[in-house]
Structures are given as structure tokens and as C-alpha cells.
């Protein structure tokens, strides 16, 4: 029997979701970059048009980890995929297969929704994660780099005629 | 006066969208990887729940280039962003500012929808694109690598108990 259960998060989970987001940001060495609050999460995840979906892994009543994902799209396949934005297990809850359990749950959703693929991003120094993902058959898209523009550059670009 | 116009694609544009997808795949040295057809594009882009949005840049009646995008989500911001899946201008139509025009149109949508950021992926050997994006203030997320699992690995992971 499994030591943990996985379920879709509900609006009452917002405080613990924010706690897990902060836990992951700390692990990623960027704790100051979490600027959202509970109201923003409630609106974006549980409003009329949710922007992403959240799975919670629980040990008893306690949330031990989470997965946050949304659908992306492949023009090569003409089909949606899943982009896994966050996958995190509290440090003291590791070693019980919870991370793999969350990924399996995401894979079942991807299978049931006929998705072309699952993608996610990994920090280059996070060797334990890289080893884990490779063991599941994941392939690194080494030849691609993600570029980003933030709000100030968006405003500037949008305002140019 | 601009030499080109930009508009949202409609279902009648599916044949030219497929042509542009193939043109981009050829430029990316992966022409065999386009497995979708017109029916799949029609369903996924113009069905009841579109998986992505398409902008077309036209010179006269001719589609000169396109942008394909969907919304992603940032847990740090608790806000959606835009992920630009494809941006392509036909080789013979370059040098007229069409690529920048498409990016500006996407930036205006991002601004109007209060998105946190715009992100996209660039092939490491595509120096003209990298120079262009950097000139617009884009920043490379050098420390991140994208990982992917495809259908066979998804089925395998989903089926494990």
C-alpha cells in the first residue's frame, strides 16, 4: 500500500500551495522572486478560467509535495502537450517515491487527454533531478535555450510603432 | 505606411498555416518531424477549445509569416504569461520588419491581457535570431534545460503502479 495519496487541489488548498511554491523557490535559490499572494493564486488557479492545474501529494492530512502544470501546444503534432511548471516534494518527505508518484499522475492525465508529450525545465546544477528524469526516459533538449522578456520590455515593444 | 498587415488567423487559413509550419521545420532542419495535417490543425486551432492562437502577417493577400502562441503560467507571479511556440517569416519576405511586427503584436496582446512575461525557445546555432531577440531586451535563461518525454515513455510511466 502506498504511503501517500495524490488528488487535484481545491480552493481551500491555496495557503499550502503558496507554502510549496515558496519551498521550491528556496530550493531553486530564488526565494525573493515569489511575488504572488493567496488572492492572486485563488484568482489564477481557481477563478472562472484557471490558468494551470495543481496536484497535491498528501501523507495523511499533510501536503507533502505538488505538481503544477498547464497545456502547451506542438505545431509539429498539431496537438496539445503538458508543460510541468513545478514539481516539488518537501525535503523531509523525500525518498518515499512521492516525486515519481506525482509524475506518474501527470503522465496518466497526459495519456488520457491524448497529449503529444510532457515537457519541463531543469536547473543545470540540479543533478539529482537530472538523474531522476533521465531514469524515466526523459531527453534533454540541449540545443534549445529559453529567452524571456518581462513587463518593462513588453510595454516598450508593445508601444513602438 | 507599413508594407504588411497583421491579423488573427481564421479557419480558412489552415492550408497556409500548415505551409508556414513546414517552412519553419525546414529552417530548423527537421522537416520530417511535422506529422500533423490540415484536419488536425483545424481541430486543434479552430475547434471548440483552441489549443493555441495564430497571428498571420500578410503582404497584400499573401501570408508572409506567422506567430503561434499559447498561455503559460508562472507560480512565482501567480499570473499567466505568453509562450511563443513559433515565429517565422518566409525567407524571401525577410528584411521588412515582419518578424518584429509579429513580436510587437504578441507584446500588445501580452500587455492587454496583463501577462507576466513572454517566453520562447531558440536553437543555439540560430545567431541571427539570437541577435535580434537580444536587441529587443530578451534575456537567455542559460541555466535551464528543457526535458521531454514522448508518448511511449508517457504510456510506460502512466502504466506503472
Contact (CB<8Å) A149/B138: yes
Half-sphere exposure of B125 (CA within 13 A, CB side): 5
Q: Give the E-state strand segments of B36-107 in sequence order.
A: 53-59, 62-74, 79-89
The C-alpha atoms of residue A69 and residue B45 are separated, in whole angstroms, by: 20
Residues B106 and B56: their CA atoms lie apart, in Å, by: 11
Judging contacts by C-beta atoms under 8 Å, the chain A residues touching residue B104 are 157-158, 160
pLDDT tens for chain A, 161 residues long, are 469 999 999 999 999 999 999 999 998 888 899 999 999 999 999 999 999 999 999 999 999 999 999 999 999 999 999 999 999 999 999 999 999 999 999 999 999 999 999 999 999 999 999 999 999 899 999 899 999 999 999 999 998 65
Contact criterion met (CB < 8 Å) for B36 and A108:
no
Instruction: Note the ipTM here.
Output: 0.93
Cβ contact, residue pair B120, A78, below 8 Å: no
Q: Which residues of A touch B121 (CB under 8 A)?
A: 141, 144-147
- Regions in chain B scoring below 50 on pLDDT: 1
Q: Number of folded domains in chain B?
A: 1
Distance CA A6, CA A64 (A): 10
Best of B32, B69, B78 to disrupt the A interface (most A CBs within 10 Å) is B78
Residues 6+ apart with CB under 8 A from A9: A17, A45, A54, A55, A56, A66
Q: What is the pLDDT of residue B55?
A: 98
Show the domain range for A52.
Answer: 5-158
Which residues contact residue B154 at a Cβ distance below 8 angstroms, ignoring those fewer than 6 apart? A107, A110, A111, A115, A117, A118
**B141 CB-near residues (< 8 Å, 6+ apart):** A121, A145, A146, A147, A148, B119
Q: Which residue of A has its CA nearest to B121?
A: A146
CB atoms within 10 A of CB B108: 17
pLDDT at B2: 67
Pairing outcome for strands A79-89 and A117-123: parallel
Rounded to 10 degrees, the C-alpha dihedral A149/A150/A153/A158 comes to: 90
pLDDT recorded at residue A2 = 67
Is A108 in contact with B74 (Cβ distance < 8 A)? no
pLDDT value for B1: 46
Active-site positions of B? 133
CATH code assigned at A70: 3.40.630.30
Query: What does the block give as the cell for B148?
Result: 521531454
Does the predicted model carry a pTM greater than 0.90?
A: yes
Of A76, A121, A155, the CB nearest to B25: A76
pLDDT of residue B139: 95
Residue-wise pLDDT for A87-123, tens only, equals 999 999 999 999 999 999 999 999 999 999 999 999 9
Q: Please give, rounded to a whole number of angstroms, the shortest distance from the CA of A124 to a CA of chain B.
A: 5
Which residues of A are tagged catalytic?
133
* Shortest CA gap A90–chain B (Å): 17
Percent helix, strand and coil across chain B, each to the nearest 5: 40, 30, 30
Amino acid at each position: 500500500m502506498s504511503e501517500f495519496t495524490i488528488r487535484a487541489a481545491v480552493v481551500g488548498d491555496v495557503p499550502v500551495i503558496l507554502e510549496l511554491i515558496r519551498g521550491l523557490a528556496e530550493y531553486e535559490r530564488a526565494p525573493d522572486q515569489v511575488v504572488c499572494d493567496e488572492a492572486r493564486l485563488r484568482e489564477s488557479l481557481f477563478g472562472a478560467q484557471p490558468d494551470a492545474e495543481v496536484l497535491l501529494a498528501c501523507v495523511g492530512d499533510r501536503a507533502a509535495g505538488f505538481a503544477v502544470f498547464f497545456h502547451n501546444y506542438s505545431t509539429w503534432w498539431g496537438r496539445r502537450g503538458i508543460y510541468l511548471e513545478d514539481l516539488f516534494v518537501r525535503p523531509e518527505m523525500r525518498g518515499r517515491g512521492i516525486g515519481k508518484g506525482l509524475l506518474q499522475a501527470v503522465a496518466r492525465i497526459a495519456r488520457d487527454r491524448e497529449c503529444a508529450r510532457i515537457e519541463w525545465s531543469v536547473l543545470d546544477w540540479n543533478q539529482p533531478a537530472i538523474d531522476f528524469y533521465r531514469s524515466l526516459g526523459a531527453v534533454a533538449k540541449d540545443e534549445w535555450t529559453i529567452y524571456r522578456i518581462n513587463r518593462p520590455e513588453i510595454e516598450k515593444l508593445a508601444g513602438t510603432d
